[in-house]
Structure 1
Amino acid sequence: MNNKQASKPNRLSLLNSLKARLVISALLLILVLMPLIGFTLNDAFKQQVKTAAKNELSAYIYSVLAVTEVENDQLQMPELLLENQFNVIQSGLYALISTPSVNSAKTTKDENGADLLWHSDSFLGLSEPKNLPQPAIGSREFSEIILDGKPHIIYSLSVSFEQQDGAFPITLHIIKDQADFQKQIDQFNRQLWSWLLVLMALLGMAQLAWLLWTLKPLAKFKQELQDVENGKAMQLSVDYPSELQSVAYQLNTLLITEQNQRKRYRNALSDLAHSLKTPLAVIQSQKGLDSSSIEQVSTINRIIGHQLKRAQSAAGSSWHLGVKIAPISEKLIRTLGKIYREPPRQIRADVDPDAIFRGDEADLTEILGNLLDNACKAAKSQILLTVSISELALNISIEDDGLGVSAEQESKIFERGTRADSYEQGHGIGLAIVRDLLDSYNGQLVISRSESLGGAKFLLTFNQKNELRTL
C-alpha cells in the first residue's frame, strides 16, 4: 500500500510537467503513426503483389489457351509449351485442364466435380488437386489452393469449344507456388520495418531536440525564478517569447511593488520607533521617578523593540530572498568568541557551504544570534552549530554542554506572552523573537537533549519547497 501511495504522486507530478506531456504525446504520435503507415504500406504491397501475380497467371492462361485445340471431342495439346517452366518437372508453375464430370453434372464443386483432362510436364509427380475451381463459362477465378501441403495460387478460366455434336467445355488452371511471392513480401517487410525503425529513431531525436529548443525559454524562466528566490537577482529579464513576456512583466511589477512597499513600511516603522523613543527618553530623564515607573518605561522600550523586529521581518516576501548561512554564522561565532572569554567557550561549526536561508539576512542574524547567545550563557565550555540541507528542508541545530532545558521550561518557551527564561541570566525576549520569526517563516522548533554534548539541543527546520520551484 505504501509503495502504491508513494508512486501515485510521482505519476501525478509527471503528468503535471509540460515537458513530460509534450514528450509523451510526441512519442505516442510516433509509436502510433509509424506502425500504422507500416501496416498500410505492407497491405498495399501485398495487394500489388497479388495483382501482379494475377496478371502474370492471366498471361500464362492465354498463352496456353492459344495452343489448346479440341477435335472430335478430344483435347489436343502440344508436347512442349512455349513457357519452359511448364516443361520442367515440379518447377513451381503448372498448367491443368479439367472438364465437368459427367457423373456430377448436377452438382457443384466437390471432390468429384471435375475430371482432369491434361496437365503440363511440370506437374508430374504431384497429387491431383481436389476441389479445383469451376467458374462459369466465360468467367475467371483467382484464389489459393493447397498442393502437396504447400500453399499455391491458382487462376482458372472456363471456356467452351463448339463442336458439330455440341459444346466441349473446359476449365484451364494455372497454378504457381506462393514461395516467390511470399519471398518478395518478406523481403519488403524486412526493409520496410527496418527503415521505419530508423525513421522512428530519427523522428524521436528530432522531436526531442525540437521540444528542448521550444521549451528552452521555460527552462530559462525557471532558472531566473530560482535566482530571484535565492536572492541572486531582483527581477526577471524580458527576453522571452510573446507568450511569456506578459508573465515576466507582471512578475517584475509585483516584485518592484513589493520591494517598494516593504521599504516604505520599514521606513515608517523606523520613524515610529524614533518618535516613541524620544518621549520615553525624556520620561526616563525626569527626576523623582520611582523604580516601578522606571521599570515600566524600560519594559515599554523592550516591547517596542521586540514588536518592531517582528514587524520588520521579511518572512512574507521570503520566497524571493536568499542569504548564505555560512558567512553569517562565521561572523556571529567570531563576535560571541570575543564576548564570552571567561570562562572560554569553544564554538564549533559544521555548516554546509551551499546552505541558503530563504529570508532576510537580518532575520537570520536575529535567529542565530539569539540561540547562539543563549547557548553560550548555558554552556560550560562547548557549543556546536550544525547546518544541513536536503531536497525539502533546511535544518539548523544548536547544541551545548550545559544543564539542558527541563520539560517545564520547554513548555514555557512555546507559551505566547510568557517569559521563557531557560537560563539563569534569562533572555525570554530573545527566545520570544526567535519563536515569532519561526512562526512567520513557517519554521519548526524542536527542543531535546544533545546526544553528543549532553546539554540542550535546539533543532530548527525550514521548508525549502514552494510552488514556484515546481514550475
Structure 2
Amino acid sequence: MSKPSSQSQSETGVNPNKGLLNSLKARLVVSALLLILVLLPLIGFTLNDAFKQQVKSAAKNELSAYLYSVLAVTEVDNNRLLMPELLVENQFNVIQSGLYALISTPGNTSGIPAKHLLWQSNSFLASEPPQHLPHPATGQSEFGEILLEGKPHIIYSFSASFEQRQNKQFPITIHIIKDQADFQLQIDKFTRQLWTWLLILMALLGGVQLAWLLWTLKPLAKFKQELSDVEQGRAMQLEADYPTELQAVARQLNTLLNTEQSQRKRYRNALSDLAHSLKTPLAVIQSQKDLSQGSFEQISVINRIIGHQLKRAQSAAGSSWHLGVKVCSVSEKLVRTLGKIYRAPEIQITESVDSEAIFKGDESDLTEILGNLLDNACKAAKSKVLLSVTSSDTQLNIAIEDDGNGISPEQQSQIFERGIRADSYSQGHGIGLAIVRDLIDSYNGKLSVSTSESLGGAKFEISFSLGRR
C-alpha cells in the first residue's frame, strides 16, 4: 500500500504541539498580569518598609526627647545619683504605664547586670529588671528593641559622665523604654489599608488591562472571522477596514485570493476544451464497425479514466483551500442511493456523522471518495455497513466499516494498486480504490485499511488536516 501523504509542520506553518502562549492574546494577557502581580506587590512592600522606617524614626525621636528631659533633672553629688521623686512626664510616675526610665552604671562591654541598676522610674517598680541593657560609648546613643517580661519594647540608651571633685568621673547610661504595641498598631493598620487598596487597584488595573487588550485585539478577531468566512466559502475577500499594520496583509491576501480564483477559472476552461477535443476522436474510433469487443471495452475504460482525470484536475483539490462542504449532505445522498441498490440481500447502512463536519474541498471529490468506499463496503458486507465521521478544529476523520470477510494483511499492502481487487469484491475493475487514494493524496490526507473491531470486516480510515481556525 502506498504511504498516505500528509502536510508536514514546515509546509503548513502550524505546530499543533505549541501551547497556550502561542496565542498573541494569551501572551499579552500573561504579560499584563505579570506586570500587575509583580510591580504592584513590589510597590506595596517598598511603601510598607518605608512606613516602618518612618515610624521607627518617629519613635526614636520621641524617646530621645524623653531621655533629655530625664537627663536634665539628673544630678550626681559625692558619687551618689540624685533624682526627683516625680518626673515632669506623668507616664514615668504611673505604674505599668508602658513608658519607663532606667539609669545604670557601666559594667562590662557585654552588658549591665541588674545589681548595677542605679535608678528606675515609678512606672517600672512592679516590673522585673532586664538581664542585659545596652551600653553605648560615652556621648553616644543606641536605639533598638528589648524584651520585658516576654513582650517587645523599644529602648533608647544614652551614655554620659558626670565630673566629680579631683577630676573623678561618674559614668551613667540613661535608658528610655516604651511598649512597642502602639507603634506596631500603627504599622499593622497602615499595612492592612495599604494591601486592601493595592488589591482593589490590582483588580481595577486587571479589568482595565483586559478591556484594553480586547479593544486592541478586536481587529485581529475580525481578521480571524473574515478568514474563517473565506475558508468556509461564505465570502470571497477580506472587506473590513483594518488598522495600518494589518492593511498590507489584508491587501496581499485579497490579491492572492483573486489570483487563485482567476487561475482556477482558466484551468477549468482549458481542461473543458481539452475534454471536448478528446471526445470527438474517441467517438470516431468507437464508431468503427470492425472494432473488436476487447478494443471497444478498452476504449470505454480510456473514456472513463480521461473523464475522471479531467474532472479531478478541474476540482478544487489542493488549491481552493477556502472552499468547504458539509459531509452529512453528501453522505445522506449516497446512503439513500446505495440503500436502493443493495436490497437483495438487504444491507443495513448505519450513519454516525457529525453534522458540523466540513470537507475542505470539492463536493464531487468527496462524493467520489465516499461513493467508492461505501460501494465496496456494500459489496463485501454480509448485512451491515457503518459510516462514522468526526471532526475537530484541526482534523476531519472518516471511517467506513463492514461485517464481511475482511482484507488479509497481504491484500492490505496491495489493494490500493491499480488493477488489484480484493477477493471480497466480485465486481469492479480494481481502479476504484486507486482513484480514492489519488484523490485523498491530492488533499494531503491519510488513508489506511485495517480490521473493524466492532463488525469484524474491513475498516477504511481517512483523515484530513483542516489547520487551526
TM over 0.5: yes
Partner residue of 2:268 out of 246, 266, 269? 266
Equivalent position amino acid for 1:463 in 2: F
Aligned residues of 1:306 and 1:429 also touching (Cα < 8 A): no
Partner of 1:54: 60
1:460 paired with 2:464, answer no
1:37 paired with 2:43, answer yes
Q: After alignment, is 116-125 or 241-250 more displaced? A: 241-250
User: C-alpha distance in 2, partners of 1:457/1:295?
Assistant: 31
Partner residue of 1:355 out of 348, 354, 357? 357
Q: How does 1:379-390 map to 2 (within 5 A)?
A: 384-390=386-392
User: C-alpha distance in 1, partners of 2:153/2:387?
Assistant: 88
Partner of 1:123: 124
Aligned residues of 2:112 and 2:135 also touching (Cα < 8 A): no
3-state secondary structure, aligned to 1:319? coil
Q: How does 1:442-457 map to 2 (within 5 A)?
A: 442-446=445-449, 448=451, 451-452=454-455, 457=458
Partner of 1:6: none
1:177 paired with 2:179, answer yes
Aligned residues of 1:153 and 1:178 also touching (Cα < 8 A): yes
3-state secondary structure, aligned to 1:215? helix
- TM-superposed CA distance for 1:53, in Å, is 0.6
Partner residue of 1:83 out of 80, 84, 89? 89
- TM-superposed CA distance for 1:427, in Å, is 4.2
| Corresponding residue pairs, total | 453
User: C-alpha distance in 1, partners of 2:57/2:405?
Assistant: 99
Q: Deviations over 1:82-131 (max 9, x none)?
A: 2111001121111122344xxx6xx5454359943322111112233344
Partner of 2:257: 255
- TM-superposed CA distance for 1:212, in Å, is 3.1
3-state secondary structure, aligned to 2:19? helix
Partner residue of 1:95 out of 73, 92, 101? 101
User: C-alpha distance in 2, partners of 1:168/1:408?
Assistant: 114
1:81–1:367: structure 2 CA closer, same or farther, 3 Å change rule?
Answer: same
Aligned residues of 2:417 and 2:434 also touching (Cα < 8 A): no
1:260–1:457: structure 2 CA closer, same or farther, 3 Å change rule?
Answer: farther
- TM-superposed CA distance for 1:392, in Å, is 5.2
Q: After alignment, is 89-98 or 61-70 more displaced? A: 61-70
User: C-alpha distance in 2, partners of 1:418/1:313?
Assistant: 26
- TM-superposed CA distance for 1:349, in Å, is 3.9
- TM-superposed CA distance for 1:316, in Å, is 0.8
- TM-superposed CA distance for 1:304, in Å, is 1.5
User: C-alpha distance in 2, partners of 1:162/1:400?
Assistant: 117
TM-score, normalisation: structure 2:
0.83
User: C-alpha distance in 1, partners of 2:101/2:115?
Assistant: 15
Partner of 1:429: 431
Partner of 2:159: 158
Equivalent position amino acid for 1:443 in 2: K
1:26 paired with 2:25, answer no
Partner of 1:231: 233
Q: How does 1:293-442 map to 2 (within 5 A)?
A: 293-317=295-319, 319-336=321-338, 348-375=350-377, 384-390=386-392, 393-398=395-400, 412-416=414-418, 418=420, 423-441=425-443, 442=445
Q: Any gaps of 5 or more consecutive residues in structure 1?
A: 1-8
1:146 paired with 2:152, answer no
Partner of 1:63: 69
Partner of 2:5: none
3-state secondary structure, aligned to 1:88? coil
- TM-superposed CA distance for 1:164, in Å, is 5.2
User: C-alpha distance in 1, partners of 2:423/2:285?
Assistant: 29
Q: Any gaps of 5 or more consecutive residues in structure 2?
A: 1-14
Q: Deviations over 1:375-408 (max 9, x none)?
A: 5556677655443335654333445676766777
Partner of 1:5: none
Equivalent position amino acid for 2:226 in 1: E
- The percentage of counterpart residues that share the same residue type is 73
Aligned residues of 2:416 and 2:433 also touching (Cα < 8 A): no
Partner residue of 2:279 out of 277, 280, 293? 277
Aligned residues of 1:313 and 1:437 also touching (Cα < 8 A): no
1:396–1:10: structure 2 CA closer, same or farther, 3 Å change rule?
Answer: closer
Aligned residues of 1:400 and 1:450 also touching (Cα < 8 A): no
User: C-alpha distance in 1, partners of 2:279/2:191?
Assistant: 92
3-state secondary structure, aligned to 2:321? helix
1:380–1:150: structure 2 CA closer, same or farther, 3 Å change rule?
Answer: closer
Q: Deviations over 1:406-435 (max 9, x none)?
A: 777655531146467863342433333222
1:42–1:28: structure 2 CA closer, same or farther, 3 Å change rule?
Answer: same
3-state secondary structure, aligned to 2:319? helix
3-state secondary structure, aligned to 1:151? strand
User: C-alpha distance in 1, partners of 2:350/2:155?
Assistant: 95
Partner of 1:4: none
